[in-house]
Chain A
C-alpha cells in the first residue's frame, strides 16, 4: 500500500503530445511555491521518460510516476 500524496494543483495534459506535457508542467510549476506538489496527468507514452528527464534537469523532484486508468500520473514537488 503506497502512501497517498496530497497535491496542491492538478494539470491535465491528456491528448497532448511532445513537447506539450513538459512545457505545460513547467508553466504550472512556476505558479507554485517551493515544496508544493503538482499532480500531472498525461496520455503521451513518451511522458514517463520525459518527465524523469525534466525532473533531473530542473531539480524539481518526481515523487511518483504511475499508471492509473490507462493514463500516466506524475507527482512533482517544486524545489
Chain B
C-alpha cells in the first residue's frame, strides 16, 4: 500500500541518532530545507540524538573518532586560516580540554562562513511545524523526563516513527 492521499505533500522522515555538534547539523539542515519546499517533515530523536531536544543545546564536537576533521583556525589572515594544521588525531583526541577548543573553533568557523546555529535551525523547524518525536526508550534508559525536553516535541517509540515513515517519500538515518 502506498500513500493513502495522493494529493498529500511530499514527506521526509529522519532518524537522528547522534548528539554532537557536527552531527546535529544534517538533520536540522535537511528538515528546514524540506520544510521550505512545503514538505511534511518528521524527526525521530533517539539515543544520543535525543539530547538535541533539550531547551539548552550543549552539543560539542570532538576530534576523537573524527580523523578526517580539518584543523583550521577561524581567525587571522586568509593564508593563516587556510593552513590545515598537521596535528595527529591521536594527539588532538587525547589532549584534555581539546574538545572544548575544537567546539569553539567549529562554532566560530561556521559563524564566520554564514552558517546558522543549531539553535536557529531548530527554531526554523519548529516554526515550520516539523514533527519532532523524542524516543521514549532512550528517555527510560538515560533517565530523562518529559520536562527535560522542549514543549514542541512529542514522545513516542519505534512504532510511532515507523507509521509516519511508512508514508514518507524520503527516509534517512543520521
Contact = CB atoms under 8 A, between A and B. Distances in A.
B37 interface: yes
A23 B33 contact: yes
Nearest to A18: B29
A50 B30 CA distance: 12
B126 interface: no
Name the interface size band of chain B.
10 to 19
A22 B39 CA distance: 13
Main SS class of interface, A: helix
A19 interface: yes
Contacts of B32: 19, 23
B38 A58 contact: yes
B79 interface: no
A57 B39 contact: yes
A25 B33 CA distance: 11
Main SS class of interface, B: helix
Interface stretch (B45-53, B87-95, B111-119): B111-119
Which of B29, B33, B36 neighbours the largest number of chain A CB atoms within 10 Å of its CB?
B36
A16 interface: yes
Contact of B37 (A15, A17, A44, A57): A57
B116 A54 contact: no
A33 interface: no
Contacts of B116: 16-17, 20
B37 A58 contact: yes
Contacts of A17: 113-116
Nearest to A19: B33
B124 interface: yes
Given A16-B114, A50-B33, 15 more contacts: A17-B115, A17-B116, A19-B30, A19-B32, A19-B36, A20-B114, A20-B116, A22-B33, A22-B37, A23-B36, A26-B35, A44-B114, A53-B37, A57-B39, A58-B37
Across the A-B interface, give the 4 residue pairs with the lowest CB-CB distance, nearest first.
Answer: A26-B36, A19-B33, A57-B37, A22-B36
